[in-house]
């Protein structure tokens, strides 16, 4: 699948996602009104991307913006802490003005979805508020959920383009084992408040060999659907070192996972389920490095993927459109580094040494 075909595939997926959300929001006039408006802006952004594609610039459908390296939790096996994105600030983070510029540029290029991540994005509420003002962009806010109180629920209710995506690892035992005692109860309480406030929200689950069966069990799925979850992201675990590599799903566990997921999807319940990298098989491999998304870290470095912290360009001295022509991204795609099977949840994470060497050969802008 080439870049143009991928763009069409992902655009079609985005339209279906909005269609599903519309169907689920018929009883909520405010959500329905927002989705109808966003469906129109989605068509405009698709036309903008096509115009740029025709002019020789491929624009992805998604951007991932890690707006802070700070986090209030210390989750076991966190790749963001392992690669230095989280918890170990190396320089000043982008200002709220810098991020506002990034958001405006992305919207102007026709990028309809901008994922806010971290660290913990709710620790930089001034940036989240800046995102709220970008009415033609949907910002899934990937948060651990522990900092969402009534004030934050009201914010999400008022600004429907901010979509909270909370994190669980399965039930109470597994969630608390990875994220800390009491986390499960805190997050499920927040889920209840979001449901009561008629806020569309999602869940993100890191899938390992240990929790795979649990998070695809009828009991877990019925519990989270009953608490109002509208979309479930199943993200394969990215091993950060050899001591946790055994947790990454292998070929056999993936086979079981895929069969179970296909069975669940055939039921066509109201909760949409998206799996990564499993669903990448339909997209010609990994969609990082600008194919379907790229990542901006808290300091403005543009990276192929959050799990591959290498960059040859920084947003402090480049425009977002210039980033799309990153020599590093181009070489990663050209050399087929995103194709084929891999042991962990990220094809690029496995090629750490290759990409590090490649970075040296393509050069790096002065920061």
Condensed to tens digits (0 to 9), the pLDDT of residues 68-127 reads 999 998 887 776 666 666 666 667 899 999 999 999 999 999 999 999 999 999 999 999
Instruction: For residue 63, name the pLDDT band (cuts at 50, 70, 90).
Output: very high
Cβ(86)–Cβ(69) under 8 Å? yes
Which CATH number goes with the domain that contains 284?
A: 3.20.20.70
Q: How far is Cα of residue 231 from the mean position of the Cα atoms in its chain? A: 12
Instruction: For residue 365, name the pLDDT band (cuts at 50, 70, 90).
Output: very low
Please tell me the predicted confidence (pLDDT) of residue 87.
62
pLDDT surpassing 50 at residue 367: no
Please tell me the predicted confidence (pLDDT) of residue 83.
64
Assess if residue 230 is contained within a domain.
Answer: yes
pLDDT surpassing 90 at residue 27: no
pLDDT surpassing 90 at residue 177: yes
Compute the distance between CA of residue 58 and CA of residue 109 in angstroms, rounded to an integer: 10
Assess if residue 74 is contained within a domain.
Answer: yes
Nearest partner of 332 among 290, 298, 295, 272, judged by Cα? 290
Cβ(148)–Cβ(167) under 8 Å? no
Window from 36-50, 114-128, 262-276 with minimum mean pLDDT: 262-276
Question: Going by C-beta distance under 8 Å and a sequence separation of 6 or more, which residues neighbour residue 199?
Answer: 153, 156, 157, 164
Please state, rounded to an integer, the average pLDDT across all residues of the chain. 86
Q: Which is higher by pLDDT, 331 or 191?
A: 191
Q: Which two tokens stand for residue 185?
A: 């109860």
pLDDT surpassing 80 at residue 7: no
Three-state SS string over the chain comes to CCHHHHHHHHHHHHHHHHHHHHHHCCCCHHHHHHHHHHHHHHHHHHHHHHHHHHCCCCCCCEEEEECCCCCCCCCCCCHHHHCCCCCCCCCCCCCHHHHHHHHHHHHHHCCCEEEEECCCHHHCHHHHHHHHCCCCCEEEEECCCCCCCHHHHHHHHHCCCEEEEEEECCCHHHHHHHHCCCHHHHHHHHHHHHHHCCCCCEEEEEECCCCHHHHCCHHHHHHHHHCCCCEEEEEECCCCCHHHHHHCCCHHHHHHHHHHHHHHHHCCCCCEEEEECHHHHHHCCCCCCCCCCCEECCCCEEECECCECCCCCECCCCCHHHHCCCHHHHHHHHCCCCCCCCCCCCCCHHHHHHHHHHHHHHCCCCC
Assess if residue 367 is contained within a domain.
Answer: no
Please tell me the predicted confidence (pLDDT) of residue 90.
62
pLDDT surpassing 90 at residue 161: yes
Q: Which two tokens stand for residue 161?
A: 């383009």
Domain range spanning residue 23?
Answer: 3-362
Cβ(88)–Cβ(309) under 8 Å? no
pLDDT surpassing 80 at residue 302: yes
- In angstroms, what CA-CA distances link 312 with 85, 210, 326, 366? 16, 37, 7, 9
Compute the distance between CA of residue 143 and CA of residue 155 in angstroms, rounded to an integer: 15
Nearest partner of 296 among 11, 42, 98, judged by Cα? 98
pLDDT surpassing 80 at residue 362: no
Compute the distance between CA of residue 345 and CA of residue 112 in angstroms, rounded to an integer: 25
pLDDT surpassing 60 at residue 366: no
Assess if residue 214 is contained within a domain.
Answer: yes
Window from 24-33, 35-44, 222-231 with minimum mean pLDDT: 24-33
Assess if residue 14 is contained within a domain.
Answer: yes
Assess if residue 280 is contained within a domain.
Answer: yes
Please tell me the predicted confidence (pLDDT) of residue 24.
60
What's the number of domains the chain is made of? 1
């Amino acid at each position: 699948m080439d870049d143009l075909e991928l763009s069409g595939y992902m655009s079609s997926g985005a339209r279906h996602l909005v269609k599903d959300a519309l169907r689920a929001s018929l009883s909520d006039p405010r959500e329905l009104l927002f989705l109808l408006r966003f469906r129109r802006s989605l068509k405009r952004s698709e036309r903008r991307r096509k115009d740029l594609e025709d002019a020789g610039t491929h624009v992805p459908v998604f951007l991932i913006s890690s707006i802070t390296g700070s986090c209030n939790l210390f989750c076991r096996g966190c790749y963001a802490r392992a690669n230095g994105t989280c918890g170990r600030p190396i320089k000043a983070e982008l200002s709220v003005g810098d991020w506002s510029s990034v958001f405006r540029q992305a919207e102007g290029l026709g990028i309809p979805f901008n994922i806010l991540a971290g660290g913990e994005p709710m620790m930089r509420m001034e940036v989240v508020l800046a995102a709220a003002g970008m009415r033609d962009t949907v910002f899934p806010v990937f948060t651990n959920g522990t900092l969402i109180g009534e004030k934050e629920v009201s914010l999400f209710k008022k600004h429907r383009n901010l979509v909270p995506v909370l994190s669980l690892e399965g039930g109470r035992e597994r969630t608390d084992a990875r994220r800390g005692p009491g986390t499960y109860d805190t997050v499920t309480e927040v889920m209840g408040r979001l449901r009561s406030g008629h806020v569309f929200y999602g869940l993100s689950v890191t899938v390992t060999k240990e929790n795979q069966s649990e998070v695809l069990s009828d009991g877990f799925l019925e519990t989270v659907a009953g608490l109002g979850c509208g979309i479930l992201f199943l993200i394969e675990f990215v091993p950060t070192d050899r001591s946790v590599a055994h947790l990454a799903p292998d070929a056999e566990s993936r086979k079981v996972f895929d069969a179970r997921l296909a069975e669940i999807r055939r039921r066509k319940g109201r909760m949409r389920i998206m799996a990564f990298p499993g669903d990448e098989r339909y997209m010609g491999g990994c969609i990082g490095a600008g194919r379907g998304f790229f990542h901006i870290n808290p300091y403005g470095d543009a990276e192929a993927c959050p799990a591959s912290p290498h960059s040859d360009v920084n947003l402090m001295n480049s425009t977002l459109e210039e980033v799309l022509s990153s020599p590093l991204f181009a070489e990663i795609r050209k050399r087929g580094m995103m194709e084929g099977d891999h042991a962990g949840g990220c094809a690029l994470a496995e090629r750490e040494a290759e990409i590090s060497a490649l970075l040296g050969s393509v050069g790096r802008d002065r920061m």
